[in-house]
Structure 1
Amino acid sequence: MGKKIPMWQIALILLVLIALLIYTLVIIGGTVHIPIAATAAIASLIAIKNGFKWSFLEKAMINGISRAMQAILILFVIGMVISTWIAGGIVPAMIYYGLMIIKPSIFLVASMLLCSIVALSTGSSWTTAGTAGIALIGIGAGLGLPLPIVAGSIISGAYFGDKMSPLSDTTNLAPAMAGSNLFEHIKHMVFTVTPSYIIAMVIFAVLGMRITNSSEVNMNEVAVLMNGLRDNFYISPLLLIPPCLIIAMVIFKVPALPGLFGGALLGVICAAVFQGENFGEVATVISYGGYVSETGIDFVDTLLSRGGMSSMYGTVGIILCAMCFGGVLDSTNMLASICDVMLKVAKSTGLLVTMVVISCIAVNAAASDQYLSIVLPGRMFKTAFEDRKLKAKNLSRCLEDAGTITSCLIPWNTCGAAMSSSLGVATVAYAPYCFLNLINPLVSIFYGFTGITMEKMTDAEYEEILEQRRLDNEIAANALA
């Protein structure tokens, strides 16, 4: 192991990352792969200069990638789902019936509400975006609505449901890190997420009405899309069964990977039975360029030419680069050093909550991993919350208000990459419209400064905490003896 890396060197790494990202994304219009990979190399050189061996850093990178392997596999399966559901007519059917029943003025609100229900039922924002989300993007496109705003409504709803569902992995992870009870944690989140949700709904309602009253909604384009779908796909209510089965599988706790893979198989069956596709053609759609629409209508072809495992290669590349970078920062304790500096600033409860929020966002950006953004700040700030006699559920709520909810706003984070790939909208384009995700951390900080719902321990509860610390220290001392 090497020595502690000076803070100025850590700051230099972060400044290099920011400079490279700005140059690549803003000036030359490139992708985030090279900036992150280059910064990972610089971070490794600085770590080696401080006594860390390359073999140790390499292992840390591999461990970081291992943590992301489930996410990578899910991305590949989502690529399969998107392509087979288009080939099978499932997505076209969802778009077709959606265009029949959803008015443009209420679409953004309806989109957020629908995704909230799906994600609350499944506990997964990724599953929601990869199934209901892709259909809603199609409906929004058909209505002529700006796709970044549509994506913002989808993601706002998906992350509300993910955050509040007891089936969600992050909803279980946050209380585990803070030491609170799962259902107490969910109840406590109601206080911050409810005003955030209402504000976001109001904004989407206003945007929906304003867009409807402008020239942006083209009903002729809606008719063209519906005719194009009906002429090129067999459309039937039976094609709505697979999405319902996916939701049912997740409700009955079928794990995400087999559940989504089952959805892809349903897409293959629908392609063969309803659309007359042969299995060889569907296999090509799954593996290579995804489904290629050839209706002759440019708008429809652009909308439906998507999916396939190969469509996820760029996203997976971002994740691999980001997890290498995050692995170096975490294993050399650079992230812990950043959190230590933040902890010194937290002189009041409001500042403490603010530092938790900032650290969660910083870890989401630096380590590119939603789980680390909950685990590391949870570990770092647990004692500080206890010393202020703040109940553990206050910390677990802060971790979700910032760690879970902001992960999709960062292009190179696994969640940002997954949302962008599933919905076909760049992260930087949809991020300003993810109103729930932007407002929720601010509400959490407001509660920290005002003391609203920041529940305190009783003296007896605090004494129990101190006694438990004493016992833990004795166990640690005996283990070292």
Structure 2
Amino acid sequence: MPAQQQLQPGFTPSLLLLVAIAAGIIFGIVISGLPTELVLISCGAIATLFTVLHGGSWQLVMDIMGHKIKTALTAILVLYSIGMIIGTWMISGTIPYFIYHGLELVDPRYLYVMAFFGTAIVSTFTGTSWGSAGTLGVAIMGIATAMDVNLAIAAGAVLSGAYFGDKLSPLSDTTIMASMVVGVDLYRHIRYLMYTSLPAATLAAVVYLMLGLNMGDGAATSAAISQGADQIRSIFDLNLLLMLPVVIVLTGSILKKPTLVVLFLATLCAIVLAMIVQHAPLSAVATAAVSGFNVDLLSVIRPDVEVDSLYPALLTLLNRGGLYSMHGAVLFVFCAFFFASALEASGILHVVLNRTLAYVRSATGTILASLAAGMAIILATGNSYVTFFLTRELFAEQYRKRGLHPLNLSRSLEDGGMIPEPLAPWTVSAVYMAATLGVATIEYAPWALFNYLGLVFSILLALAGPWFGWFGVRRIPVEEESTVAPAMEPATR
């Protein structure tokens, strides 16, 4: 982090500025529908002005922003890599292969719930919500587009499943980090997460099932679905070899190989498949990788196909991907980092949280405060690691004083300080999911049920604790206090 000392302004001006920024974001993005980038830059400028007026400097904001960009460089490069993957997987036939069999096998009424469980399984075995959404999630969104179902609900189901599986997985970096920061066993942490994650996932799955079963006439008819599948078969040569790029991604994720290397190999494999299986010239493959796949390329690959005769939803589905398609997402990341950096430089969040802790005098209040703090920090910084360490620093001693086992804190770190992250349009995860799934954050957020139901069930357990024997909230027995307290010391990195 930058060496310059952060400011400690007064509580009242800090609270007023936080309220003003929150109101500005809600009014600008939700009510007025203004471009999110403009709203973030404006709020960041206000926070920067506050910083300068309280003795800070513009350089402090830039230093913090530089640090954030440095730590997020891999994520930015992953964004560009996903753009190339979508373009090359499209021209190679890998994504169309999934879509074709999805249209053949999947009943539109069960698409939402299948999207939830499918991405949950992939995330559990790979430990990455991003990888699950970027592979199976992309294919599911393609099927949803061809079936003419609600894309916002489909994207929400993909996101929910991806994050649920991520929390179940001992391979997940955030799950590992949450347990390590607090100092509890990883597998005990995962089991303890089930008190909130399992009911949240169950309720989400039921809602997705009911939404599908009650689907109106908006879904495509069987004839239209069959027409779309037949046209995909006429455009691409489909065979099992097209699964190779997916196998590379899943294998690399399971073996915890560097993400960028795995994505590059998967892209390279798709390029070779496009040239061998689809007989696409290198120039067309390069165009798909950089500019994205477009039906105009069919004149080179399949000159016998009449583009005007293709199913309209299929055209929308095929024209996507490419390196250039991620420029907007990366610009969004820079705007979000400016906002988060200005907010951090102002010091207002730290001041408000510290003052709030002085009024927390119960076990229930401690859990609720840590959930609120985690959510505030993750939405302000967009960095789950930073959120984990800051929340642990603020609440570790408070949890011990209230007789709460460290497992409660590790669970709160995830439910409040990690899972809600993709619901805020200015976070890197939200930018990634919106760009990858092709649905704006503000549209899919209401349907990403698991991502806020986990928080809801954490709150309910805390509130119900005093009345139901602290079910799902482990207290520290007297004989354990001397052994549990040392675990609250900072974990070794």
What is the TM-score when the length of structure 1 is the normalising length? 0.92
Does 2:418 match 1:404? yes
Contact persistence 1:385–1:395 (CA under 8 A): yes
Instruction: Determine the structure 2 residue equivalent to 1:475.
Output: none
Does 2:219 match 1:200? no
- Structure 1 residues 454 and 108: alpha-carbon distance in aligned structure 2, compared to 1, 3 A threshold: same
Contact persistence 2:84–2:322 (CA under 8 A): yes
The aligned length equals 469
* Displacement of 1:283: 2.0
Q: How does 1:254-333 map to 2 (within 5 A)?
A: 254-287=257-290, 289-294=291-296, 295-296=307-308, 297=310, 298-333=312-347
**One-letter amino acid of the counterpart of residue 420, structure 2:** T
Instruction: Determine the structure 2 residue equivalent to 1:40.
Output: 44
Pick one of 390, 394, 397 that aligns with 2:404: 390
**One-letter amino acid of the counterpart of residue 430, structure 1:** Y
Q: For each residue in 1:115-171, what CA deviation from the matched residue of structure 2 results, as whole angstroms up to 9, or x when unmatched?
A: 011011111111111111110011122222111111111111100011221111110
* Unpaired segments ≥5 residues, structure 1: 473-481
Q: How does 1:9-158 map to 2 (within 5 A)?
A: 9-26=13-30, 29-158=33-162
- Structure 1 residues 276 and 343: alpha-carbon distance in aligned structure 2, compared to 1, 3 A threshold: same
For residues 172 and 65 of structure 2, the distance between their equivalents in structure 1, rounded to whole angstroms, comes to 26
**One-letter amino acid of the counterpart of residue 210, structure 2:** V
For residues 486 and 179 of structure 2, the distance between their equivalents in structure 1, rounded to whole angstroms, comes to 21
For residues 411 and 292 of structure 1, the distance between their equivalents in structure 2, rounded to whole angstroms, comes to 28
Q: For each residue in 1:340-363, what CA deviation from the matched residue of structure 2 results, as whole angstroms up to 9, or x when unmatched?
A: 233234332222222222222222
**One-letter amino acid of the counterpart of residue 376, structure 2:** A
Contact persistence 1:79–1:311 (CA under 8 A): yes
- Structure 1 residues 116 and 2: alpha-carbon distance in aligned structure 2, compared to 1, 3 A threshold: closer
RMSD: 2.2
- Percent identical among aligned pairs is 31
Stretch deviating more after TM superposition (34-43 or 119-128): 34-43
Instruction: Determine the structure 1 residue equivalent to 2:477.
Output: 458
For residues 74 and 327 of structure 2, the distance between their equivalents in structure 1, rounded to whole angstroms, comes to 15
* Displacement of 1:88: 0.8
Stretch deviating more after TM superposition (180-189 or 322-331): 322-331
Contact persistence 1:90–1:239 (CA under 8 A): yes
Does 2:441 match 1:431? no
SS at match of 1:138: helix
Q: How does 1:164-179 map to 2 (within 5 A)?
A: 164-179=168-183
Contact persistence 2:103–2:226 (CA under 8 A): no
Does 2:214 match 1:210? yes
Contact persistence 1:323–1:369 (CA under 8 A): no
* Unpaired segments ≥5 residues, structure 2: 297-306
Contact persistence 2:237–2:278 (CA under 8 A): yes
For residues 251 and 179 of structure 2, the distance between their equivalents in structure 1, rounded to whole angstroms, comes to 26
For residues 21 and 191 of structure 1, the distance between their equivalents in structure 2, rounded to whole angstroms, comes to 33
Contact persistence 2:29–2:39 (CA under 8 A): no
For residues 394 and 135 of structure 1, the distance between their equivalents in structure 2, rounded to whole angstroms, comes to 37
**One-letter amino acid of the counterpart of residue 226, structure 1:** A
SS at match of 2:420: helix
For residues 56 and 393 of structure 1, the distance between their equivalents in structure 2, rounded to whole angstroms, comes to 36
Q: For each residue in 1:57-99, what CA deviation from the matched residue of structure 2 results, as whole angstroms up to 9, or x when unmatched?
A: 3211211222221211111111111111011110001000111
Q: How does 1:350-369 map to 2 (within 5 A)?
A: 350-369=364-383
SS at match of 2:148: coil
Pick one of 221, 224, 239 that aligns with 1:221: 224
SS at match of 1:405: coil
Stretch deviating more after TM superposition (369-378 or 307-316): 369-378
- Structure 1 residues 10 and 367: alpha-carbon distance in aligned structure 2, compared to 1, 3 A threshold: farther
* Displacement of 1:22: 4.0
**One-letter amino acid of the counterpart of residue 76, structure 1:** Y
* Displacement of 1:466: 5.8
Q: For each residue in 1:392-429, what CA deviation from the matched residue of structure 2 results, as whole angstroms up to 9, or x when unmatched?
A: 11101111112221111111111111111000011111
Instruction: Determine the structure 2 residue equivalent to 1:376.
Output: 390
For residues 69 and 461 of structure 1, the distance between their equivalents in structure 2, rounded to whole angstroms, comes to 43
For residues 254 and 176 of structure 1, the distance between their equivalents in structure 2, rounded to whole angstroms, comes to 21
SS at match of 1:75: helix
* Displacement of 1:39: 1.9
* Displacement of 1:209: 0.8
Stretch deviating more after TM superposition (1-10 or 34-43): 1-10
Instruction: Determine the structure 1 residue equivalent to 2:301.
Output: none
* Displacement of 1:41: 2.1
Does 2:432 match 1:418? yes
What is the TM-score when the length of structure 2 is the normalising length? 0.90
Stretch deviating more after TM superposition (313-322 or 370-379): 370-379
Stretch deviating more after TM superposition (219-228 or 74-83): 219-228
**One-letter amino acid of the counterpart of residue 343, structure 2:** L
- Structure 1 residues 215 and 321: alpha-carbon distance in aligned structure 2, compared to 1, 3 A threshold: closer
